[in-house]
Structure 1
């Protein structure tokens, strides 16, 4: 059964659940917020909004639908309407962390960038006051359902545009994201990265693998190829996580089902929620997979969702780095403008990227428990930033988390 609840917003910060306010907001009419517990009634408006290049692919309909179908979380999808037209959607789900119920972006732990879905006109004309009154209506609408609205990993400035909620209290997320701008000319793209050195390394990698029999840049096309390659990725990742004492965030059946479902989506265009690439060896290692990466694309934005390597195969050739070269070259040929390595500060990302994007978390307490949780989370975020700035301490923490991850009972909080 599909339920809808409504709240109306006025510019002075008033919220009414029934009669609309008389004054009009600065962006062209009062805003009505509706709360949905299903995606399907919004699909038409959802796909219209997601077509905007600045809206994250992690808030796309296919991404959120796959997550909702593989997880049992209650949905709390916020639809913002103005003059009878949908101008934004915040795809949220309700997740309990201990005693606190949080409303957070669907699929949050696997999202590299969250923006929500906003129309171009709304984004271009929204003011700080508009964001404030929306938040007041949002917290009123979710009262009794959530203790805290937890909107994480939002770039307040993204590709030259200001986020409509930029004026709200926010804290910098402990993880930054890393991107490489692309041009139609691959040589110009790698020229940003000391192209001469990059080409020399690429030739060296190819020679080392050719000495073992060669390789293919393999892209899974059929359903059987996709599922087999994804299973290999899960195996490779589990081995690597265990070897390095890191908790395996891909181990749960729900997570694996989510990525399997993404592979089944075919938009009939270059856009895809998930495409699998691999280095497939020839010769002595015929058919074996040395490296895997999962790419998503929406518009001109490509995100590397995950990657893995088999450290027992041609490790001296750095097959993971080689795969990035081949994927980025292909993305240039196909007209992409931004290759996104996603969240997390790692050496290989800094070697490839010229852009570092700071993201923020917006925490909106609803209840007393939410206010306490908000204060605690701000402290935890700051502490994590300090820990990640100390590699030795971070390594110890990761080993402790891996040990907890192997225990029979395991909480499923967001990945950090």
Structure 2
């Protein structure tokens, strides 16, 4: 049975799963509390997921942002015949244009979206397994389609089984820095660029300047207080909308930055550059022992801003994670010029628009077409320049 047929004829399919797939059942949970124990158990053990799929990160988002946006938890858990969890898809369902759409929790604040996979299952997963997963989700009947954005093709050298579903390249790429363990510092950042940054660092006033990772609650709160004062001013200066003013977003960021993980650390780590008189720059992101992924940043409004404090702090962050044995670092989705100073590769990411009902088929087709059109504009300099000018005129 093909994947398309599995989704179209989900009722007739139910008794067929166990013959073709290890997935014997799919549960849908609409309560974070009821999903928490299984979710945390998957995090602890032999699973593959990005740090954006940690319970502490997504629960903070769902309770403070998702709820404001009208999204309800739609957590799909696939089990084998012995009720062992094979995968957990941390989704949230919202209604748009008369269609119930399930997407990954985290919204625009999650750079990468992925299920939590049992690694052994993911390594051997095939189309029959994904057909069973989709049919199991469809059987519950409360979602018309899945809109699954910004998924990595692989994570820590393991295939992403959802790439077996119909998919397309995401609108934007994600610049990536690959770091070889034990490599010379110049392999990450050239010696000439380091000298330039060192010269700028000496001009920051007053000296001395220090960079560090915030670890104490009071320190984290102080840095966030500074960030939420400065970031709106920076975004207004760039004539950009302040996404941090959206309902619940500041509360989500504060909760995730203060959330303590079981193995130590925080759901979001804050790196800061400061001197005796002021905070000069901060970068915040998620880390998992293998990769650091930047979420948000800003820098001072004082005269120190002209000495590229963000680039100086980024150098220190890269060296910090290289010394800790990390293998990769990314600066988030998008093609900002400063990202290319450090990140020479791209992370392949994809979107999937999967119809689960007849009503969802048209919506999935429209969303897919819109994504392709946006990508075409973003990757065509002439079209992108026209779009930017039009956006500016409308503002």
Answer whether TM exceeds 0.5 for this pair.
yes
Pairwise CA RMSD of aligned residues?
2.6
Residue 234 of structure 1 pairs with residue 228 of structure 2? yes
Q: Which aligned pairs between 1:320-331 and structure 2 lie closer than 5 A?
A: 320-331=310-321
Contact 1:87 1:122 in 2 (8 A): yes
Q: How many angstroms does 1:119 deviate by?
A: 0.3
* Pick aligned residue for 1:196 from 170, 175, 191: 191
* Pick aligned residue for 1:31 from 3, 24, 28: 24
Question: Distance between the aligned counterparts of 1:313 and 1:99, measured in 2?
Answer: 51
Residue 177 of structure 1 pairs with residue 194 of structure 2? no
Partner of 1:362: helix, strand, or coil? strand
| CA separation of 1:245 and 1:22: change in aligned 2, threshold 3 A | closer
Contact 1:309 1:320 in 2 (8 A): yes
Question: Distance between the aligned counterparts of 1:221 and 1:125, measured in 2?
Answer: 39
| CA separation of 1:190 and 1:66: change in aligned 2, threshold 3 A | farther
Deviates more, 1:125-134 or 1:264-273: 264-273
| CA separation of 1:348 and 1:86: change in aligned 2, threshold 3 A | same
Partner of 1:24: helix, strand, or coil? helix
Aligned counterpart, 2:274:
280
Aligned counterpart, 2:306:
316
1:188-212 CA-partner distances (Å, limit 9, x unpaired): 244244x2212212211222115x4
Partner of 1:166: helix, strand, or coil? helix
Aligned counterpart, 1:304:
294
Where structure 1 has 5 or more consecutive residues not aligned to the other structure, the ranges are 1-9, 404-416
* Pick aligned residue for 1:293 from 283, 290, 302: 283
Q: How many angstroms does 1:232 deviate by?
A: 1.8
Q: How many angstroms does 1:397 deviate by?
A: 5.1
| CA separation of 1:249 and 1:397: change in aligned 2, threshold 3 A | farther
Question: Distance between the aligned counterparts of 1:294 and 1:349, measured in 2?
Answer: 15
| CA separation of 1:338 and 1:398: change in aligned 2, threshold 3 A | farther
Partner of 2:19: helix, strand, or coil? coil
Partner of 2:61: helix, strand, or coil? helix
Partner of 1:92: helix, strand, or coil? strand
Aligned counterpart, 1:148:
145
Aligned counterpart, 2:163:
166
| CA separation of 1:105 and 1:30: change in aligned 2, threshold 3 A | closer
Aligned counterpart, 1:246:
240
Partner of 2:114: helix, strand, or coil? coil
Aligned length: 382
Partner of 1:221: helix, strand, or coil? coil
Aligned counterpart, 1:256:
250
Contact 1:57 1:298 in 2 (8 A): yes
Q: How many angstroms does 1:114 deviate by?
A: 1.0
| CA separation of 1:45 and 1:388: change in aligned 2, threshold 3 A | same
Question: Distance between the aligned counterparts of 1:203 and 1:54, measured in 2?
Answer: 38
Aligned counterpart, 1:118:
117
1:234-256 CA-partner distances (Å, limit 9, x unpaired): 22221121111212211124011
Partner of 2:231: helix, strand, or coil? helix
1:110-160 CA-partner distances (Å, limit 9, x unpaired): 11111111101110111122212321222232x2x2332111111223343
Deviates more, 1:76-85 or 1:160-169: 160-169
Q: How many angstroms does 1:37 deviate by?
A: 0.8
TM-score (structure 2 length as normaliser)? 0.88
Contact 1:387 1:393 in 2 (8 A): no
TM-score (structure 1 length as normaliser)? 0.84
| CA separation of 1:268 and 1:45: change in aligned 2, threshold 3 A | closer
| CA separation of 1:22 and 1:261: change in aligned 2, threshold 3 A | closer
| CA separation of 1:315 and 1:174: change in aligned 2, threshold 3 A | same
| CA separation of 1:133 and 1:276: change in aligned 2, threshold 3 A | same
Bigger helix share: 2
Q: How many angstroms does 1:394 deviate by?
A: 4.2
